[in-house]
Amino acid sequence: EAERYFSRDFAADNKAYQAAGALARAIPATVTPLLLVMFTSRSGGKKDEAVTDQRILLGLFAIGLACGCIGVIAFKDIFVQFIFGQRNLTAANMVIPLSITMVFGGLSQAIGIWSLASRWLRLAILYGTLGLAYWLTLLWAGHTPAALLHTMPLAATAAFGILCAAWLLTLRSQPP
């Protein structure tokens, strides 16, 4: 079924998409251990010192995502050439929207984990609902690889914006 949406050379396009996706997924994968430590700390203690440490871990996670994205995009041609053994412009061009998607998806995941560890059920439900809306949007708008690659970063950014606003409002309403 997917063959009809790719170019005539489905095998080459599919390989390019898979390689670009693997590079982009490496961005959150390298900093996810920080989230695991933050979750354990957040669910275990909410004293002033612990909260400061948790915010530092969250900040390091965000910085790691941003640096990873910049690095993958800056060196995409080298990484793609390493994977294929030759230049592949199709895969290199796919890296940018997929990397941006991974950054905003990772930031949303961080807020979702924070809300779960804090036992903020409404925010956790919003996180799940936005995830479902993201996938439904991709199913609705992503009928071609180009449309999918255009929609993914926009939908991930929108979901993060909504979730971040709700998270900040929740943080403000919590007693110190």
- What is the structure's pLDDT at 48? 65
- What is the structure's pLDDT at 50? 64
Instruction: Supply φ then ψ for residue 14, to 5 degrees.
Output: -65, -45
Largest CA distance in the chain: 60
- What is the structure's pLDDT at 100? 94
- What is the structure's pLDDT at 6? 56
- What is d(CA 38, CA 56) in angstroms, rounded to the nearest whole number? 9
Residue 79 near residue 89 (C-beta atoms within 8 A) = no
The two three-digit tokens of residue 125, written as one number: 């439900």
Amino acid at 14: N
Q: What is the chain's pLDDT, residue by residue, as a tens digit (176 residues)?
A: 445 555 566 666 677 778 888 888 888 777 777 777 766 666 555 566 666 777 788 888 889 899 999 999 999 999 888 888 888 888 888 889 999 999 999 999 989 988 888 888 999 999 999 999 999 999 899 777 788 889 999 999 999 999 999 999 998 887 65
Residue with tokens 């708008």: 141
- What is the structure's pLDDT at 54? 73
- What is the structure's pLDDT at 2? 47
Please, which residues have CB within 8 angstroms of residue 16's CB and are 6 or more apart in sequence?
Answer: 88, 90, 91, 94
- What is d(CA 115, CA 122) in angstroms, rounded to the nearest whole number? 9
- What is d(CA 161, CA 165) in angstroms, rounded to the nearest whole number? 6
